[in-house]
Structure 1
Amino acid sequence: MKKIFRFIGLVLLAAIIYYGFVTYPKLDLISGFSSKSIASGHFIDNRSMKTIEEGDNDINMIDLAKNEIDEKTKTAFASVYGLKSRKAIYREGLGAVLVDDDFDESKPYNVPKRTKLSNNLSFPYGNNEPEKTVFPTVDYKKLELAVASAFDKKGEKKQRTRSVLVLYKDKIIAEKYADGFTKTSKILGWSMTKSLTATYFGILQKQGKFDINKPAPVAEWKNDERKDITTNDLLHMNSGLEWEEDYTQISDVTKMLFQAEDMSKSQVEKPAAFKPDTHWNYSSGTTNLLSGILRQQFKTHQEYLDFWFSSLLDKIGMNSAIVETDMAGNFVGSSYGWATTRDWAKFGLLYLHKGNWNGEQIFDESWAKYVATPTNTSKGQYGAQFWLNAGGYFPDVPKEMFYCSGYQGQMIAIFPSKDLVIVRMGLTEEPDFDFNGFLRDVVGSVKQ
């Protein structure tokens, strides 16, 4: 009997050692994700720690973290079993940043200069409440059912939709929020931020200040095979560079988001695996490299920070929007854009109108066509930092749709011929959330 207990004990010990060996390197990422999520959600959107833990942090292994908030220093801490403690600090105007032990919190930093849209217009072109308009071409009963189906019934926790907004002919025809969320709630767009980042190249191109078809201005590539990679290749995610986008383990993307000081350098350091324009590979590192390239276009860091708001976000009245920076002061253009659902809808509307915002052309019409044109080797699923339905990924949805997409099912869907923009924010992706059915039913409620 003693031998049996000894054997069982050895097996359990071996299991514990193995679990620790496999899990320990991930603790840094777990506590990093958790502290950053807590700091951002609490200080940007005023959510309680409990709400964030039960919502944003309710994912595999992240819920192992023990969290703490220091209101006085606007700091969030997280650790796992007392190990690998990480800290994220909030800075007004820049959001929260996950810091390492070498980060100097006393060092002065620049903050974007903001302007608020000031006119007497209603949403979306002003900050007054939207006008109530009834369209004979909309089946409101069908629309209401489609929107309601996106939300959980009381006691359920599957769909986990936080908000839905539908714009038709510049008017809100449907808007619904889950308990705890309202029209003023700022919600993280995750990779929808990539579409924002790309837009700045369209703006610079219109201003005659940037040519996306020239080799990317990356000094480290000038003397090797990467010298032929263009900014156009980067925008299309087909640079041919190595990159692993896997959030379930320690990979290029998790190391960048939760360990790197300067996220714009993570992709720069990768060797070429393929020739440019021959192999599509989704890479958040590429988008943060693009953010770094944008920074190079300005003489000062302040000008770079201001440009993101003066040329786009504040110009179209996305006054709630904030894009968080890394420790080096770069906007994390891959992942960290926040805004209210209404403001995310404004961004979709800008593309619906091919860059025209209430009479002002923000970027050329050709840019809207460019981002919605399939990238080589993407099977019709990707354009330039926008996702596409050209390949019929959503079989019951018009193929013309192009959209911004983010982790956990954030979406801004644009339907040019329908004059329609649909925004869904939440915590679930397919198959838990049926985007094909949801989009099909909303689009089907509008008769053209």
Structure 2
Amino acid sequence: MHTTPLKRWLVGITLLGVILFAAFLWLRPLLSIGGGYAAKHACSCHFLQGRDLGEISTHDLNFSVLGYYSLETRDSFVHASFFGLVDRRAKFLGDRGCVLVNEEKLPLPVGGDAGARKFKKEPALVAPVKFAEALDYGMQPVPGGGARGIVILKDGQIVGERYAPGFDENTPLLGWSMTKTLTGMAVGALVRRIPRDTLGADTGVRRPSGAGDAFAGLGESGFYSSDEPSLGAKGFGGRGAKEFGGRGSEINLADLLHMNSGLAWNEGYGSITDATVMLHERPDFAEFALRSPVIEPPGTVWNYSSGTSNILMEYLRRELGGNQALYAFLDSIFAPAAPSLLIEPDQSGRPVGSSYGWATARDWTRLGQFMLQDGVWNGDTLLPPGWIDYMRQPAAGSEGIYGAHLWLPGPDMPSLPDDAYTMRGFQDQRVIVIPSRQLVIARLGHGEDKVTDFDGLISRILAADE
């Protein structure tokens, strides 16, 4: 059968259209996740740091396809659009920061006046020159960017400090997964503040057997034992048998703190994974994480999981009676040391315990000092004595590099003394605590992940401290 050139042209155009449409359907989830990242990050950088959207696009959305998203503000929203095919938006909530809209039909959290979270501005300091070489080294460019702030504390005092142009001692900086360590400390603060017999009846968490020993009967560490009440006993039950494959009742707080829950989780960030879907597609992060099936016996396999940190934040929310009470609780723990700290919420209004902590570089360093001082600040005991030592106990299966929401010395930083511990976040955020030297070092910035020579920085700081 003879076909005319026009018919062949029409068939070709139709096939091309079908192929392009199929490609769009295949790519749309990735484009939506990328747009969600762009909208949320741009919203936070614009409203919390006071930066221009164009500058944010150039210097922060400079990897993958993120630079192709167009950004614009509409009222208190920041929109990210990929050539009009995908449009994602995030809303500025005032004193709660920004929230990504992951479900249009659900309400958004309500924040307060942005002025309510204004913290006292700090003056610039003339730091001693002894750490100048180390700071020069730490501020060198890395692929994708570089450090935006480095602060060094010695005996609780700032002895070295450096900032990139456009950033200073009063600029909030995103800690990414360093927020997880704050979540781990918050669990400890709850253990200290709420008597066991006043915890919710559906938690099953028991009062300790010894008055004066806040953790009697809770394991070798003095905190949690293998019979610590499970997720099901904590009010996550009812659906637990189904969602955890009948084994959710075996998961306890110690498992969650040490990333030993046994729950399935993919923490990758380069494609469609549990982590990227949770952060950029789901309105309630903990609810999403709680639907993960149990695939390993709890307490045996280490699997780093942002979902786990958000389950812990949901545990805190339930124990304290809601999001407002949870935010007040977090402020009571961390504001004395770090008044600039803000942990942004998901669409349910719950603070994102895995990822969205912002503070100045100085305050991030002070949070490390807070840990070095065993949870004591200005004479007030805010964490249970010994909680930081508990967080330093290696998790099963972690090869000794991870504790209870806290990183331990590993092969990537051989210069670190054995007593050191670290908060770590995406794109090379670090707070490094070295008790034996009374040093705390914070490095925050932007760039590709795992490209900063931290061992070179640490070795230079330690040499200058001799």
TM class by smaller structure: 0.7 to 0.9
Distance 1:392 1:373, change over 3 A: farther
| Alignment TM-score, normalising by the size of structure 2 | 0.83
What is the identity percentage for the equivalent residue pairs of Structure 1 and Structure 2?
Answer: 31
Structure 1 stretch displaced more, 428-437 or 357-366: 428-437
Name the SS of the counterpart of 2:138 in structure 1.
Answer: coil
For 2:230, the equivalent position in structure 1 comes to 215
Q: 1:173 aligns with which of 145, 159, 163?
A: 159
For 1:336, the equivalent position in structure 2 comes to 356
Residues 43-101 of structure 1: CA distance to partner in whole angstroms, max 9, x if unpaired? 1111110121122211212112111112xx21101111211211111111111111132
For 1:55, the equivalent position in structure 2 comes to 59
Residues 357-401 of structure 1: CA distance to partner in whole angstroms, max 9, x if unpaired? 121111123101011121111011111111110x44412222322
Q: Which runs of 5+ in 2 are unaligned?
A: 197-204, 206-223
- Is 1:433 the counterpart of 2:452? The answer is yes
Q: 1:148 aligns with which of 131, 136, 143?
A: 136
Tell me by how many angstroms 1:160 deviates: 0.9
Query: Does structure 1 retain, via aligned residues, the 8 Å contact 2:423–2:431?
Result: yes
Distance 1:357 1:436, change over 3 A: same
Query: Does structure 1 retain, via aligned residues, the 8 Å contact 2:430–2:442?
Result: yes
Q: 2:32 aligns with which of 4, 20, 28?
A: 28
Rounded Cα–Cα distance in structure 2 between residues aligned with 1:247 and 1:84: 20
Query: What amino acid does structure 1 have at the position aligned with 2:229?
Result: K
Residues 410-445 of structure 1: CA distance to partner in whole angstroms, max 9, x if unpaired? 110000111000000011356531111111211222
For 1:315, the equivalent position in structure 2 comes to 336
Q: 2:275 aligns with which of 249, 253, 261?
A: 253
Q: Map of 1:88-237 to 2, 5 A cutoff?
A: 88-99=90-101, 100-104=103-107, 140-141=129-130, 143-152=131-140, 160-209=146-195, 212=224, 213-216=228-231, 217=234, 218-219=236-237, 220-221=239-240, 224-237=246-259
Measured on the aligned residues, the alpha-carbon RMSD in Å equals: 2.9
For 1:413, the equivalent position in structure 2 comes to 432
For 1:423, the equivalent position in structure 2 comes to 442
Rounded Cα–Cα distance in structure 2 between residues aligned with 1:74 and 1:298: 30
For 1:270, the equivalent position in structure 2 comes to 292
Name the SS of the counterpart of 2:37 in structure 1.
Answer: helix
How many residue pairs get aligned? The number is 420
For 1:80, the equivalent position in structure 2 comes to 82
Query: Does structure 2 retain, via aligned residues, the 8 Å contact 1:112–1:305?
Result: no
Query: What amino acid does structure 1 have at the position aligned with 2:270?
Result: T
Rounded Cα–Cα distance in structure 2 between residues aligned with 1:112 and 1:373: 39
Query: What amino acid does structure 2 have at the position aligned with 1:230?
Result: N
Distance 1:241 1:144, change over 3 A: same
Query: Does structure 2 retain, via aligned residues, the 8 Å contact 1:114–1:306?
Result: no
Rounded Cα–Cα distance in structure 1 between residues aligned with 2:252 and 2:190: 16
- Is 1:240 the counterpart of 2:262? The answer is yes
Name the SS of the counterpart of 1:267 in structure 2.
Answer: helix
For 2:321, the equivalent position in structure 1 comes to 299
Name the SS of the counterpart of 2:430 in structure 1.
Answer: strand
Query: Does structure 1 retain, via aligned residues, the 8 Å contact 2:127–2:161?
Result: no
Query: What amino acid does structure 2 have at the position aligned with 1:402?
Result: Y
Query: What amino acid does structure 1 have at the position aligned with 2:78?
Result: A
Name the SS of the counterpart of 2:173 in structure 1.
Answer: strand
Rounded Cα–Cα distance in structure 1 between residues aligned with 2:297 and 2:188: 25
Rounded Cα–Cα distance in structure 1 between residues aligned with 2:41 and 2:119: 29
Q: Which runs of 5+ in 1 are unaligned?
A: 119-126, 135-139
Query: Does structure 2 retain, via aligned residues, the 8 Å contact 1:35–1:86?
Result: yes
Distance 1:85 1:37, change over 3 A: same
- Is 1:355 the counterpart of 2:375? The answer is yes
Rounded Cα–Cα distance in structure 1 between residues aligned with 2:40 and 2:119: 30
Query: Does structure 1 retain, via aligned residues, the 8 Å contact 2:144–2:448?
Result: no
Query: Does structure 1 retain, via aligned residues, the 8 Å contact 2:143–2:448?
Result: no
Distance 1:209 1:283, change over 3 A: farther
Residues 311-370 of structure 1: CA distance to partner in whole angstroms, max 9, x if unpaired? x12232x22111111111111110001111111111000001111112111112310101
